[in-house]
């Protein structure tokens, strides 16, 4: 490292000093904790982004957000050149850098530079985005301080959704082939693809019911307001929890709706009307509705994956292309969805570990890889080969029908955010499919019936005592736990359960499904007890749900 650089870095670091002794881990999706503990992490992630940019000779993104966490939290994720999450090999650099005491900072940096043979004379550029949390602006300024301490170029995109920043990074590194690297460019690209798709719908006049959106009082609400005008008159939106009064993610948002399996506060639901919730940084979406008896029905990531993969598969038959398609889920996928996809749809299904990077990675193995977590994070990846073949068929398809189907696939490619799951983009894909197929939300829901399920958490002294295998579906440590779970599961019908240490919270998560809600609840509770006793539970023993 050049002396000049080093002096500037150390000098600025004083303004972002690390509280001695504090250690944090680069978790499933970056650092995440109380906002007041993050200033030094932000500064250092600014530094790391510059190093990553020099190393990859590409623009790197830094997003300040804690997604669905409470408003008081914050976090940071790095975005790699093609818009993917930071490669896993660099997560350890991130952790080391974040945890180096002030006097160790220089060594921590020099180590990365040596290890990766980074030429500090190389150009670099970092793009920065942030969510609507009160702490985000200052934290993003800390990132910028880090970036400028290394005398790097940067561009601050201000308030953007996480997927918008991923999109921008990808555009910047592909000479605009993916789109214009601006938020406006994002709206243009998506709305054009959406409008082109929906215009082909025989039903565009039929279902004029509007879509109600719960914006989780976050960035998604802001961005939907900006985008709305581009979508009229084909889609009319009613926005709730737009941030004007409620608190971010408080009793609303995709995570709340999915985990509690109930409607968010602050939304006006009429029977049969489509509703959806974004999470705090708009990279997740779930749908739901109330039936005539006012019963709540959730359409989660699994239902979304099924809808999208069915639609794509039908189009592939029409264009007569032999592209392989696979669906990637996690252990949380409802058993009914997996069965439906495999047995009825005849689509190969794979299970990956929780966390977008694991699903994304697996999905890249297919010509068309659909991945969704049950919690509503997901997208579709098209290989280069698939994209080329589809684009070609738009003109050269042998029949009117195949050219039309190719055109629709092309629109889907443009509409879906292939860099990462994106609530806005996914919402538009879903709305387009429902319109093209003339499907009501109830009919979509009827594709298969979810097995009743329950998610709970258990506090233990050290969640690292639990180790899992087989994409988190079984535990190998502590001894005896898995055998215990197996015995409990056997007592229930159509049952399945697994436990895993959370990657974002200091708890062990428990998932259970069974033939009835009562049984799913009882099974989840029994498994919680097993975890509590075998993995060092703290506090009171878990209580039954009812």
- Rounded CA separation 500/469 (Å): 10
The annotation status of 337 as a binding-site residue, yes or no, is no
CB of 544 to ligand 16G, least distance (A): 23
Burial letters 183-195, b for 16+ CB under 10 A, else e:
bebbbebbbebbb
Contact 509, 457 (CB under 8 A): yes
- CA distances to 314, 414, 425 from 387, rounded to whole Å, are 17, 10, 18
Task: Identify which range of 66-74, 237-245, 296-304, 497-505 contacts Zn ion by CB under 5 A.
Answer: 66-74
Contact 166, 417 (CB under 8 A): yes
Q: Which residues contact 341 (CB under 8 A, 6 or more apart)?
A: 305, 306, 309, 327, 347, 349
509 contacts ligand 16G (rule: CB under 6 A) = yes
67 contacts Zn ion (rule: CB under 5 A) = yes
- Rounded CA separation 189/237 (Å): 19
Interface with Zn ion (CB under 5 A), residue from 84, 145, 214, 279: 279
504 contacts ligand 16G (rule: CB under 6 A) = yes
Interface with ligand 16G (CB under 6 A), residue from 18, 40, 133, 377: 377
CB atoms within 10 A of CB 308: 22
CB of 457 to ligand 16G, least distance (A): 9
DSSP, collapsed to helix, strand or coil, labels residue 153 as: strand
Interface with ligand 16G (CB under 6 A), residue from 6, 10, 25, 28: 28
- Rounded CA separation 249/255 (Å): 8
- The torsion of the CA quartet 348, 374, 169, 13, rounded to 10 degrees, works out to -130
With CB under 5 to 8 Å by kind, the binding choice for 281 among ligand 16G, Zn ion, none is Zn ion
281 contacts Zn ion (rule: CB under 5 A) = yes
Interface with ligand 16G (CB under 6 A), residue from 24, 29, 126, 488: 29
Letters for 427-466 (x = contact with ligand 16G by CB under 6 A, - = none) are ----------------------------------------
Using CB under 6 A, which residues numbered 40 to 79 contact ligand 16G? Answer: 67
User: Which positions are annotated as active-site residues?
Assistant: 67
Residue number with CB closer to ligand 16G (52 or 509): 509
Interface with ligand 16G (CB under 6 A), residue from 70, 266, 478, 503: 503
Task: Identify which range of 105-113, 372-380, 387-395, 424-432 contacts ligand 16G by CB under 6 A.
Answer: 372-380
DSSP, collapsed to helix, strand or coil, labels residue 106 as: helix
The annotation status of 503 as a binding-site residue, yes or no, is yes
375 contacts ligand 16G (rule: CB under 6 A) = yes
| Of the candidates 141, 146, 185, the residue with the CA atom closest to the CA atom of residue 53 | 146
CB of 223 to ligand 16G, least distance (A): 17
For the chain, the C-alpha Rg in angstroms (whole number) is: 23
CB of 279 to Zn ion, least distance (A): 4
226 contacts ligand 16G (rule: CB under 6 A) = no
With CB under 5 to 8 Å by kind, the binding choice for 279 among Zn ion, ligand 16G, none is Zn ion
| Of the candidates 165, 447, 162, the residue with the CA atom closest to the CA atom of residue 308 | 447
354 contacts ligand 16G (rule: CB under 6 A) = yes
Task: Identify which range of 188-196, 269-277, 340-348, 502-510 contacts ligand 16G by CB under 6 A.
Answer: 502-510
3-state per-residue secondary structure call for 313-354: HHHHHHHCCCCCEEEEEECCCCHHHHHHHHHHCCCCEEEECC
The annotation status of 500 as a binding-site residue, yes or no, is yes
301 contacts ligand 16G (rule: CB under 6 A) = no
Total site size for Zn ion, rule CB under 5 A: 4
Please give the structure tokens belonging to residue 153. Answer: 């170029």
CB of 205 to ligand 16G, least distance (A): 38
Contact 286, 455 (CB under 8 A): no
Which residues bind to ligand 16G, rule: CB under 6 A?
28-29, 67, 354-356, 373, 375, 377, 502-505, 509
Residues belonging to the binding site for Mg(2+) are 67, 279, 281, 283
Which residues bind to Zn ion, rule: CB under 5 A?
67, 279, 281, 283
């Amino acid at each position: 490292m050049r002396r000049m650089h080093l002096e500037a870095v150390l000098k600025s670091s004083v303004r972002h000093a690390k509280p001695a002794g504090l250690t944090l881990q680069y978790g499933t999706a970056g650092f995440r904790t109380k906002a007041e503990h993050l200033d030094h992490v932000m500064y250092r992630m600014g530094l790391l982004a510059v190093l990553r940019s020099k190393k990859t000779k590409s623009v790197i993104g830094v997003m300040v957000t804690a997604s669905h966490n409470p408003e008081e939290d914050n976090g940071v994720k790095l975005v790699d050149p093609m818009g993917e999450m930071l490669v896993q090999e660099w997560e350890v650099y991130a952790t080391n850098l974040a945890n180096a005491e002030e006097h160790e900072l220089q060594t921590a940096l020099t180590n990365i530079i040596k290890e990766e043979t980074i030429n500090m004379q190389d150009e670099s550029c970092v793009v920065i985005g942030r969510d609507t949390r009160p702490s985000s602006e200052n934290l993003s300024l800390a990132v910028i301080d880090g970036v400028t301490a290394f005398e790097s170029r940067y561009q601050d995109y201000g308030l953007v959704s996480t997927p918008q920043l991923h999109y921008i990074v990808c555009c910047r590194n592909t000479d605009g082939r993916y789109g214009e690297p601006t938020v406006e460019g994002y709206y243009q690209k998506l709305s054009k693809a959406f409008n082109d798709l929906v215009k082909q719908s025989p039903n565009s006049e039929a279902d004029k019911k509007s879509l109600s959106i719960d914006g989780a009082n976050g960035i998604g609400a802001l961005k939907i307001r900006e985008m709305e005008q581009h979508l009229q008159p084909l889609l009319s939106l009613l926005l709730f929890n737009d941030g004007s009064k409620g608190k971010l993610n408080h009793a609303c948002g995709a995570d709340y709706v999915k985990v509690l399996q109930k409607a968010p506060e602050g939304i006006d639901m009429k029977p049969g009307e489509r509703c959806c919730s974004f999470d705090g940084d708009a990279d997740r979406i779930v749908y739901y509705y109330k039936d005539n008896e006012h019963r709540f029905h959730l359409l989660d990531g699994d239902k979304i994956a099924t809808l999208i993969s069915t639609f794509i598969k039908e189009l592939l038959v029409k264009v007569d292309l032999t592209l392989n398609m696979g669906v990637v889920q996690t252990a949380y996928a409802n058993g009914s969805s997996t069965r439906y996809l495999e047995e009825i749809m005849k689509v190969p299904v794979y299970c990956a570990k929780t966390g977008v990077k694991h699903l994304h990675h697996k999905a890249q193995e297919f010509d068309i890889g659909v991945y969704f977590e049950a919690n509503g994070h997901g997208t579709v990846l098209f290989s280069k080969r698939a994209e080329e073949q589809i684009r070609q068929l738009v003109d050269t398809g042998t029949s009117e029908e195949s050219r039309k189907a190719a055109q629709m696939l092309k629109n889907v490619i443009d509409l879906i955010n292939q860099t990462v799951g994106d609530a806005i983009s996914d919402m538009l894909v879903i709305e387009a499919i429902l319109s093209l197929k003339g499907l009501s939300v109830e009919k979509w829901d009827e594709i298969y019936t979810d097995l009743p399920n329950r998610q709970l958490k258990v506090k233990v002294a050290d969640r690292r005592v639990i180790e899992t295998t087989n994409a988190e579906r079984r535990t190998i440590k502590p001894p005896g736990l898995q055998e215990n779970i197996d015995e409990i599961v056997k007592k229930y019908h159509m049952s399945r359960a697994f436990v895993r240490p959370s990657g974002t919270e200091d708890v062990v998560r428990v998932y259970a499904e069974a033939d009835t809600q009562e049984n799913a609840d009882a099974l989840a509770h029994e498994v919680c007890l097993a975890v509590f006793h075998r993995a060092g539970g703290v506090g009171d023993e878990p209580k039954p749900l009812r």
